Amino acid sequence: MKAIIFIAHGSKKDKSNNEFKALVENISKNVKTYELKKAAFLELASPSIEETALEFIKKGAKDISFYPFFLNSGKHVLIDLPEIIDGLKKEYKDINFTLLEHFGKSKRIEEIILSDIE
């Protein structure tokens, strides 16, 4: 079973966290590649990345992808997320974990911005 975890930074403000959860719920309605889909947070909010991965493993996921909803390749994208996923790989050796490119690497962002301002 394949799963995907959409990752946001997390905020002290529930409104911000709920906006991300709603976005993921809407996206998930159209995702066909993964059976399990959920939002998780790096910090300041729950569920955490590790909690969500464990939930999916308990449900039978053998392949878990992580999609970072980050615009730039800062410390969280380059260091924190790889460290979390490396920790999961060491603990759950029979599960395939894949860190996908962060949102900011998408070429379509330029199209969205142009569409919004033109």
Whether 54 contacts 61, CB under 8 Å: no
Average pLDDT over residues 48-61: 98
Q: Count up the domains in the chain and report the number.
A: 1
Average pLDDT over residues 29-58: 97
Average pLDDT over residues 23-51: 96
pLDDT tens string 75-109: 999 999 999 999 999 999 999 999 999 999 998 99
pTM of the predicted model, to two decimals?
A: 0.93
Q: Give the closest residue to 16 by CA, choosing from 69, 73, 84, 89.
A: 69
| Residue 70 belongs to domain spanning | 2-117
pLDDT at 2: 98
Average pLDDT over residues 7-16: 96
Q: How confident is the model at residue 28 (pLDDT cuts 50, 70, 90)?
A: very high
Query: What CATH number has the domain bearing residue 29?
Result: 3.40.50.1400
The runs of H, that is alpha helices, within the chain are: 14-28, 49-58, 75, 81-91, 108-117
Strand, coil or helix: 54: helix
Structure-block tokens of residue 110: 């330029």
pLDDT at 96: 98
